């Protein structure tokens, strides 16, 4: 795949524009995508500053009272303030729990996505650069894994590794790295066979330099698209595992865990405990996916104007 961003632009004036800035400009052309990007930024900020903006620290058990438990939205609790979204089964302010849950979900999604990006890219580029036997072995494993549904893989790994944040991230990474490996391999092997890389390989330049200075930057745009989509997927997968009772320990609930905790009260009409965390989860995932979708469109050379 040739890199659409690095392609020389028409006209002399545009030569000075860096490819990343050009990318940003083209991204801004679509209002909906820009809006989605704004939502993602807002949610990340909310998660970062959760301790400052949430009315209550949901992890501080001494601040909770069971008398406040399972109250509907708008209830004024013993803390003396209004629970805008109601309270959960432990008497936690749901809005605070959601903000902290957003923090946990984002943290896990981004960590898993980043680790999978590094591992997957390393494998893909190694395979593309080494060729031959190494390529055959590595990519055969990757392809085999891609044919397996990631949810099943994550489910099994969580079962095998036990519960906990590190184990969960490991399971998510193992379920996702293959997508990065495939993408990096595709981009890197296209680059590897180009004349300039062959020429560079003939000079005394180290393999490391060739990979980091030439191959990796060209594979980057495609990898960024995969990373966005995979972060959203990791968040959804974590929520699903939590929902199935195989995710994180209950002490610091993610969005998925909050939904799962509220389910048993849903049948009796106390729906807010699941519905609001769920809405937050959906907004998060859909916004990230829309950004990813638009990035894919502007980086796709076939749709280039």
Partner 1 sequence: MSGFIIQRLLQAIVVMAVMSVIVFAGIYSIGNPLEILIPPEATQDVRERTIARFGLDRPVVEQYFYYIRNLLQGDLGRSYIYNEPVLHLISGRLPATIELVLVSVLGALFIGVPLGMLAGYRPDAWSSRIIMAVSILGFSVPTFWVGLILILTFAVELGWLPSGGRGDTAELFGTAWSFLTLNGWSHLVLPAINLALFKLAIMIRLARAGTREVMLGDTVKFARAAGLSEWTIMTRHVLKLISIPIVTVFGLELGSTLAFAVVTETIFSWPGVGKLIIDSIKNLDRPVMMAYLMLTAGLFVTINLVVDLVYALLDPRLRRGGAA
Q: Can you give the binding site for partner 1, defined by CB under 8 A?
A: 144, 147-149, 151-152, 155-156, 159-162, 232, 236, 239-240, 243-246, 259, 263, 266-267, 269, 271, 274-275, 278, 281-282, 285-286, 289-290, 293
CA distances from 129 to 202, 210, 222 (A): 14, 10, 18
CA–CA separation, 165 and 104 (whole Å): 10
74: left (phi over 0), alpha (psi -120 to 50) or beta: left
Closer residue to partner 1 (CB): 22 or 297 = 297
Q: Let me know how many helices (H) and strands (E) the chain has, helices first.
A: 12, 2
- Taking the complex as a whole, the smallest distance from the CB of residue 25 to partner 1 amounts, in Å, to 25
Shortest distance in whole angstroms from residue 290 CB to partner 1: 8
Q: Please identify, using beta-carbon distances, which residue of 9 and 152 lies nearer to partner 1.
A: 152
Closest distance to partner 1 from the beta carbon of 286 (Å): 5
How far, in Å, CA of 268 to CA of 214, rounded? 60
Among left, alpha and beta (phi > 0; psi -120 to 50; other), residue 73 is beta
Best CA proximity match to 27, nearest among 295, 302, 265: 295
- Name the minimum Å distance from CB 281 to partner 1: 7
Smallest distance, partner 1 to C-beta of residue 243, A: 5
Nearer to partner 1 by Cβ, of 219 and 232: the residue is 232
CB of 232 to partner 1, least distance (A): 7
Q: Which lies closer to partner 1 via its Cβ, residue 101 or residue 278?
A: 278
Nearer to partner 1 by C-beta: 74 or 162? 162
Q: Which residues sit opposite 229 in a β-bridge?
A: none
77 or 150: CB nearest partner 1 = 150
Per-position DSSP letters for 52-112, written without gaps between them: HHSSS-TT-GGG--GGGTTPPTTEE-TTSSEETT-B-TTS-BHHHHHHHHHHHHHHHHHHH
């Amino acid at each position: 795949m040739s890199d659409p961003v690095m392609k020389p632009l028409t006209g002399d004036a545009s030569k000075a524009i860096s490819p990343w800035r050009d990318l940003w400009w083209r991204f801004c052309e679509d209002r909906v995508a820009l809006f989605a990007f704004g939502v993602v930024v807002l949610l990340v900020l909310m998660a970062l500053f959760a301790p400052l903006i949430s009315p209550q620290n949901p992890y501080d058990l001494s601040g909770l009272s069971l008398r406040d438990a399972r109250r509907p939205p708008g209830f004024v609790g013993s803390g003396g303030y209004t629970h805008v979204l109601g309270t959960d089964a432990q008497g936690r302010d749901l809005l605070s729990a959601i903000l902290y849950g957003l923090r946990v979900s984002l943290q896990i999604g981004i960590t898993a996505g980043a680790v999978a990006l590094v591992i997957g890219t390393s494998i893909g580029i190694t395979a593309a650069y080494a060729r031959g036997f190494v390529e055959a072995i590595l990519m055969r494993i990757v392809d085999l894994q891609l044919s397996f549904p990631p949810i099943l893989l994550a489910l099994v790994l969580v079962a095998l590794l036990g519960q906990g944040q590190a184990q969960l991230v490991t399971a998510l990474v193992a379920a996702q790295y293959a997508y990065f490996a495939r993408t990096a391999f595709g981009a890197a092997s296209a680059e590897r066979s180009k004349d300039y890389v062959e020429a560079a390989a003939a000079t005394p330049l180290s393999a490391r330099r060739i990979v980091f200075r030439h191959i990796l930057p060209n594979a980057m745009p495609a990898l960024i698209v995969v990373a966005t989509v995979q972060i959203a997927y990791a968040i959804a997968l974590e929520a699903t595992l939590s929902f199935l009772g195989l995710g994180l320990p209950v002490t610091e609930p993610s969005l998925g865990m909050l939904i799962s905790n509220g389910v048993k009260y849903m049948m009796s009409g106390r729906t807010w405990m699941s519905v609001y965390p769920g809405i937050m989860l959906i907004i998060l995932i859909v916004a990230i996916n829309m950004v990813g979708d638009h990035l894919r469109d502007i980086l796709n050379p076939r749709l280039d104007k």
